[in-house]
Amino acid sequence: MTLLVTGAAGFIGSNFCHHWRGAHPGDRLIALDALTYAGNAANLAALDGQAGFRFVHGDITDGALVERLLREEGIDTIVHFAAESHVDRSIHGPAAFVQTNVVGTQVLLEAARRVWLAGSGREHRFHHISTDEVYGSLGPEDPPFHETTPYAPNSPYAASKAASDHLVRAWHHTYGLQVTTSNCSNNYGPYQFPEKLIPLVILNILHGRRLPVYGDGTQVRDWLHVADHCRGIEAVLRDGRMGETYNIGGFGELTNIELVRRLCALLDERFAAEPELARRFPDAPQARGAPAESLIEHVTDRPGHDRRYAIDPGRITGELGWSPSHDLTSGLADTVGWYLANGPWWTAVMDGSYREWLSQQYGGGVLPQNQEGTS
Ligand code: NAD
Ligand code: DAU
């Protein structure tokens, strides 16, 4: 196969490229990414220069570029991750979400239609990566989201993803484009940009910054290790039914406050076992004998904050034989270990704009040289 992976330099896209290269070393990967604040070419550094891998710095809204790549590279499969992905940013600036998530998806679909459906057509697949947020919010006793749950997106981000799902569906029904869609729950693992809850909490503990828990912290998310998400996408690409959608989730429901406490406990254990961590991170509470939980602060809630997400993965499990292989306890411990071991990665992603944002949130002097993450 020759795959075009959009958003390949982001969190899940880069994990997917590494996964695919390991599982299908004979396939060709064309990685397309605009390198927005969330994209990081370093996430793909291990693949750079390998035969069968090409990185293209470009925008999915550039239809001419996408069409040229599809033709020149003989691409038969698009795996579409590229998106603006952070709910809080969508509340402050929704326009970028409509542009990338809605217009960008439509541009990709049109390029695929022009190249793949012209003449006699060719074997192809457009796989669209979506989210459980399109289904809205569950009450405490509601059954988990199923593929037939009505759409009820609540944030500008969720609305833009819902719109893109509908476009993908329409290009299948109207034009016969061979599409599949997967709607996944919250991912965690390596290479996640530290604006999202799990890496934010880990890095804030290391730097002695407050841990901002929105509202009462009893909102529930359903956490899935990113490696299991990649395996789920692989299963859909292999055997998924054309025009179908598949929910992917890991039975990992947890309240935010419980998740934050677990991360605090994991870092307390690491500091207790490894005295050199207190020297590397002198501003961490553990360096002065205090537990990480002392940093927890309840802050103003996210507007329109969804209370609970939970996925019923029955279809992908029953039809395609997928099930999660990481449990949340070991997955979180591994993730804490990854961030401790990869200080240079997160030091580098904390560029000018991210530092500015951190300063606004937590005050100046956010990353003095002696705290930067070299191990
Ligand atoms: P991310 O923000 O880490 O990465 C997004 C990537 O897309 C970045 O590399 C960015 O540079 C790139 N990008 C943005 N706009 C672009 C454009 N116009 N052209 C080309 N590239 C562009 O996001 P993520 O967490 O890796 O999410 C990837 C996909 O998975 C998204 O579609 C998201 O909606 C979906 N998703 C995410 C989660 C999650 O928990 N993170 C869960 C379910 C679904
Ligand atoms: O459900 C899938 C979605 O998961 C994806 O589609 C999104 O791209 C991804 O960003 C994620 O959305 P969330 O809004 O659930 O993720 P986030 O990490 O921003 O927040 C997780 C929960 O933690 C949410 O209930 C808000 C809360 N939170 C978040 C941050 C950043 C806090 O309490 N404090 C924080 O500082």
CATH number at residue 201: 3.40.50.720
Which pLDDT band, with edges at 50, 70 and 90, does 120 fall under?
low
> Is the shortest distance between the CB of 86 and ligand 2 below 6 Å?
yes
- Closest ligand, as measured to the CA of 9: 1
Average pLDDT for residues 338-345, to the nearest whole number? 95
110 is catalytic: no
Query: What letter does residue 83 receive in the DSSP assignment?
Result: S
373 inside domain: no
Query: In angstroms, what is the span from residue 223 Cα to ligand 2's centroid?
Result: 10
Contacts of 93 (CB under 8 A, 6+ apart): none
Do 306 and 136 contact (CB within 8 A), yes or no? yes
Do 342 and 272 contact (CB within 8 A), yes or no? no
Nearest CA to ligand 1 atom 41: 187
Average pLDDT for residues 91-96, to the nearest whole number? 96
110 inside domain: yes
Report how many domains make up the chain.
1
Do 221 and 259 contact (CB within 8 A), yes or no? yes
CA geometry: angle 265, 266, 267, nearest 5 deg: 90
pLDDT digits (tens, 9 = 90+) for 313-324: 999 999 999 999
The closest-lying atom of ligand 1 relative to the alpha carbon of residue 186 is: 40
Contacts of 30 (CB under 8 A, 6+ apart): 2, 3, 4, 5, 54, 56, 69, 73, 75
The closest-lying atom of ligand 1 relative to the alpha carbon of residue 13 is: 26
pLDDT for 373 beyond 80: no
pLDDT for 357 beyond 70: yes
72 is catalytic: no
254 inside domain: yes
If one counts every other C-beta atom within 10 angstroms of the C-beta of residue 9, the result is 26
Whole-number percent of the chain with pLDDT over 70 = 95
372 inside domain: no
If one counts every other C-beta atom within 10 angstroms of the C-beta of residue 149, the result is 19
> Is the shortest distance between the CB of 213 and ligand 2 below 6 Å?
yes
Mutate to test the pocket of ligand 1, among 36, 60, 191 (most ligand atoms within 8 A of CB): 36
71 inside domain: yes
Whole-model pTM: value is 0.96
pLDDT digits (tens, 9 = 90+) for 268-310: 999 999 999 999 999 999 999 999 999 999 999 999 999 999 9
Nearest CA to ligand 1 atom 28: 81
Give dist(CA 160, CA 286) in Å, integer. Answer: 41
Give dist(CA 98, CA 84) in Å, integer. Answer: 9
Average pLDDT for residues 361-372, to the nearest whole number? 48
> Is the shortest distance between the CB of 249 and ligand 2 below 6 Å?
no
- What is the enclosing helix (H) or strand (E) of 32? strand 28-33
Domain housing 240: 2-367
The catalytic position among 59, 133, 228, 312 is 133
> Is the shortest distance between the CB of 219 and ligand 2 below 6 Å?
yes
List 127's β-bridge partners, or say none: 79, 180
pLDDT digits (tens, 9 = 90+) for 221-233: 999 999 999 999 9
Which pLDDT band, with edges at 50, 70 and 90, does 348 fall under?
confident
103 inside domain: yes
Which pLDDT band, with edges at 50, 70 and 90, does 115 fall under?
very high
The closest-lying atom of ligand 1 relative to the alpha carbon of residue 100 is: 18
If one counts every other C-beta atom within 10 angstroms of the C-beta of residue 154, the result is 18
- What is the enclosing helix (H) or strand (E) of 30? strand 28-33
132 is catalytic: yes
374 inside domain: no
The catalytic position among 33, 59, 132, 234 is 132
Q: 93: alpha, beta or left, given left = phi > 0 and alpha = psi -120 to 50? A: beta
196 inside domain: yes
3-state secondary structure of 233: helix
Q: In this predicted structure, what is the pLDDT of residue 5?
A: 98
> Is the shortest distance between the CB of 155 and ligand 2 below 6 Å?
no
3-state secondary structure of 2: strand
pLDDT for 369 beyond 50: no
Query: In angstroms, what is the span from residue 81 Cα to ligand 1's centroid?
Result: 5
Q: In this predicted structure, what is the pLDDT of residue 367?
A: 42
Query: In angstroms, what is the span from residue 263 Cα to ligand 1's centroid?
Result: 24
Give dist(CA 235, CA 12) in Å, integer. Answer: 16
The catalytic position among 135, 157, 246, 339 is 157
Closest CA to 57 of 40, 75, 74, 78: 40
Would you list the DSSP string of 106-172? HHHHHHHHHHHSSTT----EEEEEEEGGGG----TTSPPB-TTSPP---SHHHHHHHHHHHHHHHHH
Nearest CA to ligand 2 atom 26: 214
Q: In this predicted structure, what is the pLDDT of residue 370?
A: 35
